[in-house]
């Protein structure tokens, strides 16, 4: 039976990390692995995670380097990368493991649900899910999962400060189409609510367009903000 490793990169996530890890308790009791990779938090995130994860690691700040560090340490056959402010759907481990074993897909993601009652965000999440089905490009908010062999074959996440999820999706889709599970990964809408829904939509599309046109991820990361979340 294959095993799943959930890898969570963190940076100053003390406010929500306990709830995120507690939501994975049943998954751990079924024998799956949870790894937290902290990028130098100053708010005690790593201390709070201890005891609620199988391993808590330290790595240089940056989601890509943190997720790669977690992948190297993971014991699972399938790697699932989860944002610290997201929640997996019920029985996510079985959905992923059975889904990948049933077909030719080597990777995939869940549909996303934004944790907000704002009506415009229902449109945003619907468009995110539809876009990823059409383009075979997935985002970190959707809980990307991948067989270890495929992850290693594409060299893991590229070492860039932004759009690392877009970049690895482009590599992985050369190996297979993604398995697009309709069960939903619930993710925080704090970015949208704090910065304004319409403003965030325009900003994200601008960043994606600049990236598609060849703009350096480091420059886009500075425009987006140091945390990149």
Nearest residue to 36 via CA among 71, 8, 12, 59: 8
How confident is the model over 77-127, as pLDDT tens digits?
999 999 999 999 999 999 999 999 988 999 999 999 999 998 889 999 999
Q: How far is CA 92 from CA 27, 143, 162, 219, in A?
A: 8, 10, 26, 35
Alpha-carbon distance of 17 to 39, in angstroms, equals: 14
Q: What's the pLDDT tens digit per position in 181-228?
A: 999 999 998 877 777 777 877 777 777 777 676 767 676 666 666 443
Q: Where are the domains of the chain?
A: 4-191
SS3 string of 3-67?
CEEEEEEECCCCCCHHHHHHCCHHHHHCCCEEEEEECCCCCCHHHHHECCECEEEECCCCHHHHH
pLDDT in the model for residue 216? 72
Share of the chain above pLDDT 90, in %: 75
pLDDT tens readout for residues 134-188:
999 999 999 999 999 999 999 999 988 888 999 999 999 999 999 999 999 999 9
Query: Into which CATH architecture does domain 4-191 fall?
Result: Alpha-Beta Complex (3.90)
């Amino acid at each position: 039976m294959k095993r799943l490793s959930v890898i969570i990169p963190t940076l100053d996530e003390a406010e929500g990390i306990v709830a995120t890890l507690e939501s994975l308790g049943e998954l751990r009791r079924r024998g799956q692995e949870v790894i937290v990779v902290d990028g130098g938090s100053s708010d005690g995130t790593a201390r709070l995670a201890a005891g609620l994860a199988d391993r808590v690691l330290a790595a240089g700040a940056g989601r890509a380097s943190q997720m790669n560090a977690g992948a190297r340490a993971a014991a699972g056959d399938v790697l699932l990368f989860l944002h610290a402010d997201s929640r997996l759907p019920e029985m996510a481990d079985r959905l992923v493991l059975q889904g990948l074993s049933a077909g030719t897909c080597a990777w995939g993601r869940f549909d996303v649900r934004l944790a907000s009652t704002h009506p415009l965000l229902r449109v945003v999440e619907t468009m995110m899910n539809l876009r990823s089905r059409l383009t075979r490009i997935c985002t970190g908010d959707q809980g990307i999962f991948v067989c270890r062999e495929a992850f290693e074959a594409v060299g893991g996440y590229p070492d860039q400060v932004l759009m690392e999820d877009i970049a690895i999706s482009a590599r992985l889709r050369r190996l297979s189409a993604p398995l697009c599970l309709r069960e939903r990964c619930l993710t925080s809408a704090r970015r949208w609510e704090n910065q304004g829904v319409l403003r965030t939509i325009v900003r994200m599309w601008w960043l994606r367009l600049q990236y598609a046109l060849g703009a350096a991820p480091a420059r886009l990361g500075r425009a987006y903000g140091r945390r990149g979340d």
